[in-house]
Amino acid sequence: MTIDISSAGRIVPIEPAPGSFGGFVARARRSGGLVVQPRMGMSSPRTMREGLAATRDASATTVGTITLDSYTRVGGHSAARQALADGVDLNGYPIVAHDRDVTRGVLRGVRAANFPVQVRHGSAAPQDIFAALVAAGLDATEGGPVSYCLPYSRTPIRESVDNWVQCCEMLAERAGPGVEPHLETFGGCMLGQLCPPSLLVAISALEAMFFVQHGLRSVSLSYAQQTNPAQDEEAVRALRRIAAHFLPGIDWHVVIYTYMGVYPRTPGGARGLLEAAARLAVRSGSERLIVKTEAEAHRIPTIAENVMALEAAAAVAVAERDRLQPAGLDDTGVYAEARALVDAVLSLDPDIGRGLTLAFERGYLDVPYCLHPDNLGRTRSSIDSDGRLRWASIGSMPIGHLVAAAKPRTVTSSDLLRALSYVEREFDDAALNHSNRRHLADSLSHRPDDTAETTMTEPNTTGAGVPDGFPASPREHLSSPVTRTVLRIQHRMLTAAREHLSAQGFVEMLPPMIGPVTDPGARGAKQIDIDYYGHRYKLMTSAILYKQASLLAFDKIFYVAPNVRLEPLETSTTGRHLAEFHQIDVEVAGASRDDILHILEDLVRGIVRRVVEEMPDELEFLGRDTSAFTELLSRPFERRTHAAAVRDLHDIGHDQSPEAEIDWQAEVKLSRKVSHPLFVTDYPKGSRGFYDRESRTSPGQLCNFDLIAPEGYGELCSGSEREHEYGRIVSRMRETGENPAKYGWYLQLVREGIPSSAGFGLGLERLTRYVTGLDAVWQANAYPKLPGVKSP
Amino acid sequence: MESDSHTWNLVFLQLVLEELGHRVTNLGACVPDQVLVDRCRLPPPDLIVISSVNGHGYNDGMRLIRMLRSQSELAVTPIVIGGKLGIGGADDLRYSGALLAAGFDAVFQDTAGIESFRSYARSLSGQAS
């Protein structure tokens, strides 16, 4: 539909006067330049004038800004006058409190045809402000009946509309030879964050139409940078398409606001966000950009900081224009949603102000999280996994046919906190990662091989040592860029494992944590007893018995299982032991050892490939050279029997008993000798628990294995075919000194029959350490518990 | 309160209370004193939460609590205040004592974290049931 929104009914596009705000921007557009503008306002006329002059003189195409103080915004002009009389600095320029001749003096010789100045305020009742700026000879400002009412005031929308009608008319009357008043919508900002782009576009466009309906012929439409560059670009394209359709014969342009929500606190993060805004402005064909400074999160910026931001944005804009990257072509429906909202409002009443009032009353427009009494408050928004703002609930807005998965989703208080700080976190993290890269490269030159060597030649015999670098506090550890990068990679590894196993028909089950008995085979580690309603129960050291039981439900299962083992104190500095850790625990009914080795090998390769392909930046940041995985990804893992491994160890002078488990020091030596993952198979009976199946053809030998990582990272995984026959299990229990009476529930199941099976437990922290090249396994755990070390 | 136009803190608190099973009337930002008093009198809610983050919380809170407690309907209604009550520093601790003495049932400084507020709200639910 079309609607006559121009009271004068003009259809010929106006060419705004060369010296006017719109005329200046139009000229800059023709010469291909982006106009940049600060958010600058000082209470002292002298400083305000200096700020304007510095803006004009910056190496960029600039327009000047007079931002008003918060007293003036709410009509507290006498408070502003009192502050001026008392010599108290305000947070902006009090244009009403200052005499108009003072303001004329501020502008004289600074404001010119090649340097227009705009007043920025934030008032829902701005008549005094408009009168003052007009009296001072100014004719460019911004705001809107919705955008300065809903977020910041309790003024009823109806009143705000009336106020803005008066103000538009007051400003439009200024039009004359060489003068074309200009009004910018603030509607592209709505609460600064978490308002989905389609609603921002709709409100910004509707406010522009409202301005035009009340006499303005030169307007700009704002859009505030949100959470995802591609989505923002799509939104600005939608805004331009709607403006082109609904503002015929009008001089209009688009202004981008650098992010208006919780701002990055690091200088690098703040710069990064400003640069992203400048790129958005260029890529979306916008004409003007309002910048923010590195001081944004902390205080009111200085003039010099404003100039730096202007020049930085201008430089990025030039570079982006020269890149000649094709504009994005995403269409996720922003235009359709925004257009549906605009059409719905226009259909309510030919008078756009009345239409807007009715639209909020009926919930056609409903700003998420806005508490204004005239906002229905039935909508919710959230941030997608790819950083896009989306609707969690659309309330009564007429876009149900357009919003995918219109089923409302709950947004919890912690979701909200995370969403509010999403942009800050993204940009601060990126900045911290960048600045830590060098520092980290130094710390990582200390390879695990060296660690192992040191540990072996100087064994810690004094008990619980704490390795260098172990975090002093959870805060230090959790907020460290290394930890965060490692945990992100670990998350991807788990995702990869789950997808890989699920695709092969595995069912993920959740493991028990408490039982009357737990796997007795954890070498040298003690179990934790707990009081379970008067019974002495255990925390799981591993869940092998339960995995066997789980095969009664499904043939192929896996857990991501927490395990607790009180490892000997001397393991605290091995870099490979944690008292609390996790395993990807897999068990397959009817499988042989060969079967399970193939499943494990495929799983490890799948996880590593996923990280190498999808997280190269993170690996580079951690200093992990991905060429370390070339062999792993391209050829089958090596296999060696325990007997052969013992011979190898003897050859390099390590006194390894052929009857026993390979100790962790020997594992490291083996690990350092290979460039490729290595399976060690056929451990001697007596080295492992009763559940590892004894070979029927070579008695005394178990059908089991360990997986050893190369480069000194050591053992990643243990696994085996399982004993599953009642008689054999009971006799193996007796051989290993276990009391069968303790295993009542398990033996009952076994007696009635459980499937034969094979399985493994792949240490998640150990695998993460290997993939990320960390010094120690504790770095791959959010709450590391080193043996014997007091930990949260 | 009237001088404070911040709203994200109020939205967050609303979600926290809703998650604990409460129904919430959120009066929003910049609430004039009389609007708050009128809304709280009839019918009195189970809990009145005042949140301020602009650094004027102490002054505004002292004025508000006297107005609220002077209403007979609100003599024993739990009323709490929290946020950034002063402009920082040691004075903020002194503020807590004065606000409690003036009639608030609890004061939650912004440094205390949301958990203390959650457990306070939970303890109220316990009393109610």
DSSP string, B1-34: -TT----HHHHHHHHHHHHTT-------SS--HH
By C-alpha distance, the chain A residue nearest B31 is: A154
pLDDT tens digits for range A184-243: 999 999 999 999 999 999 999 999 999 999 999 999 999 999 999 999 999 999 999 999
CB contact, 8 Å: A373 with chain B? yes
Per-residue model confidence (pLDDT) at position A88: 82
Evaluate if residue A470 carries a pLDDT over 70. Answer: yes
Per-residue model confidence (pLDDT) at position A389: 96
- Report the pLDDT averaged over residues A570-579: 85
Cα–Cα distance, A564 to A579 (Å, whole number): 6
Q: Which H or E run contains A484? A: helix A481-503
Per-residue model confidence (pLDDT) at position A14: 66
Greater model confidence, A13 or A462: A13
Of the ranges A98-102, A251-255, A778-782, B26-30, which one carries the lowest mean pLDDT score? B26-30
Name the residue among A153, A370, A412 with its Cβ closest to that of B15: A412
Q: Model confidence at A519, in pLDDT bands (50, 70, 90)? A: confident
Per-residue model confidence (pLDDT) at position B88: 54
CA distance A495 to chain B (A): 29
Strand-pair partners of A583: A561, A763
Cα–Cα distance, A687 to A284 (Å, whole number): 67
Evaluate if residue A247 carries a pLDDT over 60. Answer: yes
By C-alpha distance, the chain B residue nearest A74 is: B3
Q: What percent of chain B stands above pLDDT 90?
A: 43
Q: Minimal CA–CA distance to A639: which of A698, A686, A597, A696?
A: A597
Q: Model confidence at A461, in pLDDT bands (50, 70, 90)? A: very low
By C-alpha distance, the chain A residue nearest B15 is: A413
Q: Model confidence at B114, in pLDDT bands (50, 70, 90)? A: confident
pLDDT tens digits for range A256-272: 999 999 898 888 899 99
Q: Model confidence at A9, in pLDDT bands (50, 70, 90)? A: very low
DSSP character string of A4-58: ---TT---SPP---TTSHHHHHHHHHHTTPPEEE-----SSHHHHHHHHHHHHHS
Evaluate if residue A720 carries a pLDDT over 90. Answer: yes
Q: Which residues contact A665 (CB under 8 A, 6 or more apart)?
A: A455, A456, A654
Residue A752 Cα distances to A169, A748, A755, angstroms: 89, 6, 10
Residues of B in contact with A191 (CB under 8 A): 7
Q: What is the bridge-based pairing of β-strands A678-681 and A704-709?
A: antiparallel
Q: Minimal CA–CA distance to A131: which of A92, A108, A103, A89?
A: A103
Inter-chain CB proximity B28 and A152 less than 8 Å: no
Per-residue model confidence (pLDDT) at position A8: 43
Q: What percent of chain A stands above pLDDT 90?
A: 66
Residue A213 · residue A352 · CB < 8 Å: yes
Residue A382 · residue A392 · CB < 8 Å: yes
Q: Minimal CA–CA distance to A542: which of A720, A409, A343?
A: A720
CB contact, 8 Å: A279 with chain B? no
Neighbour order of strands in the sheet with A218-224: A35-37, A288-290, A251-257, A218-224, A182-185, A140-143, A117-120, A64-67
Q: Model confidence at A621, in pLDDT bands (50, 70, 90)? A: confident
Q: Minimal CA–CA distance to A314: which of A14, A36, A693?
A: A36
Per-residue model confidence (pLDDT) at position A754: 93
Per-residue model confidence (pLDDT) at position B83: 85
Evaluate if residue A458 carries a pLDDT over 80. Answer: no
Q: Model confidence at A13, in pLDDT bands (50, 70, 90)? A: low
Q: Model confidence at A72, in pLDDT bands (50, 70, 90)? A: very high
Among residues 24-53 of chain B, which lie with CB inside 8 Å of chain A?
A: 26-32
| Dihedral of alpha carbons A648, A650, A654, A658, sign | positive
Name the residue among A153, A371, A413 with its Cβ closest to that of B15: A413
Cα–Cα distance, B55 to A634 (Å, whole number): 62
Residues of A in contact with B122 (CB under 8 A): none
CB atoms within 10 A of CB B62: 17
Structure tokens at A461: 């015999």
Evaluate if residue A87 carries a pLDDT over 90. Answer: no
Per-residue model confidence (pLDDT) at position A89: 84
CA distance B16 to chain A (A): 6
Per-residue model confidence (pLDDT) at position B26: 92
Inter-chain CB proximity B28 and A373 less than 8 Å: yes
Per-residue model confidence (pLDDT) at position B46: 92
Evaluate if residue A22 carries a pLDDT over 50. Answer: yes
Evaluate if residue A677 carries a pLDDT over 90. Answer: yes
Instruction: Give start and end residues of each alpha helix (H) in A579-738.
Output: 593-614, 616-621, 630-634, 642-651, 664-673, 726-735
Inter-chain CB proximity A369 and B7 less than 8 Å: yes
Residues of B in contact with A369 (CB under 8 A): 7-8, 11
Cα–Cα distance, A589 to A752 (Å, whole number): 16
Q: Model confidence at B30, in pLDDT bands (50, 70, 90)? A: confident
Per-residue model confidence (pLDDT) at position A322: 82
Q: What percent of chain A stands above pLDDT 70?
A: 92
Greater model confidence, A333 or A19: A333
Per-residue model confidence (pLDDT) at position A318: 92
- Report the pLDDT averaged over residues A638-642: 93
User: How far is CA A301 from its chain centroid?
Assistant: 27
Cα–Cα distance, A520 to A167 (Å, whole number): 81
Evaluate if residue A326 carries a pLDDT over 70. Answer: no
Name the residue among B16, B19, B26 with its Cβ closest to that of A371: B26
Q: Model confidence at A292, in pLDDT bands (50, 70, 90)? A: very high
Q: Which H or E run contains A564? A: strand A556-564
Per-residue model confidence (pLDDT) at position A47: 95
Of the ranges A211-215, A309-313, B28-32, which one carries the lowest mean pLDDT score? B28-32
Residue B88 CB-density burial (10 A; 0-12 exposed, 13-18 middle, 19+ buried): exposed
Inter-chain CB proximity A371 and B7 less than 8 Å: yes
Structure tokens at A13: 């596009």
Residue B113 Cα distances to A416, B88, B97, B119, angstroms: 16, 15, 18, 11
CB atoms within 10 A of CB A784: 23
Q: Which H or E run contains B109? A: strand B106-109
Per-residue model confidence (pLDDT) at position A651: 84
Q: Which H or E run contains A580? A: strand A580-589
The DSSP letter of residue A393 is E
Q: Model confidence at A431, in pLDDT bands (50, 70, 90)? A: confident
Cα–Cα distance, A26 to A309 (Å, whole number): 23
Cα–Cα distance, B96 to B76 (Å, whole number): 19
Name the residue among B8, B10, B30 with its Cβ closest to that of A154: B30
Greater model confidence, A621 or A9: A621
Evaluate if residue A2 carries a pLDDT over 90. Answer: no
pLDDT tens digits for range B70-86: 999 999 999 999 987 76
Per-residue model confidence (pLDDT) at position A64: 98
Residues of B in contact with A160 (CB under 8 A): none
Per-residue model confidence (pLDDT) at position B69: 94
Per-residue model confidence (pLDDT) at position A442: 42
Q: Which residues contact A561 (CB under 8 A, 6 or more apart)?
A: A511, A540, A542, A543, A582, A583, A584, A585, A761
By C-alpha distance, the chain B residue nearest A193 is: B8
Q: Model confidence at A608, in pLDDT bands (50, 70, 90)? A: very high
Cα–Cα distance, A672 to A595 (Å, whole number): 27
Residue A697 Cα distances to A592, A595, A681, A701, A702, angstroms: 14, 18, 15, 9, 10
CB contact, 8 Å: A726 with chain B? no
Cα–Cα distance, A791 to A473 (Å, whole number): 9
Evaluate if residue A347 carries a pLDDT over 70. Answer: yes
Q: What is the pTM of this model?
A: 0.63
Greater model confidence, B47 or A326: B47
Inter-chain CB proximity A191 and B7 less than 8 Å: yes
Among residues 71-90 of chain B, which lie with CB inside 8 Å of chain A?
A: none
Name the residue among B8, B19, B28 with its Cβ closest to that of A420: B8
Q: Model confidence at A723, in pLDDT bands (50, 70, 90)? A: very high
Greater model confidence, A407 or A487: A487
CA distance A91 to chain B (A): 14
- Name the region of A663 (left: φ>0; alpha: ψ -120 to 50; beta: rest): beta
Name the residue among A370, A372, A413 with its Cβ closest to that of B12: A413
Evaluate if residue A419 carries a pLDDT over 90. Answer: yes
Per-residue model confidence (pLDDT) at position A480: 87
* Averaged pLDDT of chain A: 89
Which residue is it, tokens 């704490």?
A466
CB contact, 8 Å: A422 with chain B? no
- Report the pLDDT averaged over residues A85-106: 93
